[in-house]
Amino acid sequence: MLVRCGLCNVKRWYQPDDLQKIFGDIEPDLVGSKMRCERCGKNEFMHAETQSPTARERQGIRVRRLAEIRTVRRVVWKDEQ
């Protein structure tokens, strides 16, 4: 699956099953709106599409694979009167 940022023109390839582990079973068109560009930090310009590249095109593609999912716990305090 190809995900690109329309603002800074970055293209990245992902395996669909890796994205499904993160976002669940959603439509491919919605994946782009749930991601944030690593270069500019915005998500308004993200666009995702499914493509089937030819064997020749696949040789030049670097696919990003999911290494791990980290859960961040934040402490929120409340002052009592």
Rg of the chain taking only CA atoms, in angstroms: 16
Question: Residue 79 falls within a domain, yes or no?
Answer: no
- For residue range 3-37, list pLDDT tens digits in order: 999 999 999 999 999 999 999 999 888 898 899 99
pLDDT tens digits, 30-64? 898 899 999 999 999 999 999 888 999 989 999 99
Tell me how many domains the chain contains: 1
User: 74 lies in a domain?
Assistant: no
Residue 81, pLDDT score = 84
| Helices marked H in 24-76 | 28-34, 55-59
Domain-located, residue 21: yes
What span, in angstroms and rounded, lies between the C-alpha atoms of 19 and 51?
A: 15
Strands of 46-49's sheet, edge to edge?
A: 46-49, 2-5, 11-14, 63-64
Sign of the dihedral through C-alpha 75, 78, 79, 81: negative
What's the pTM? 0.78
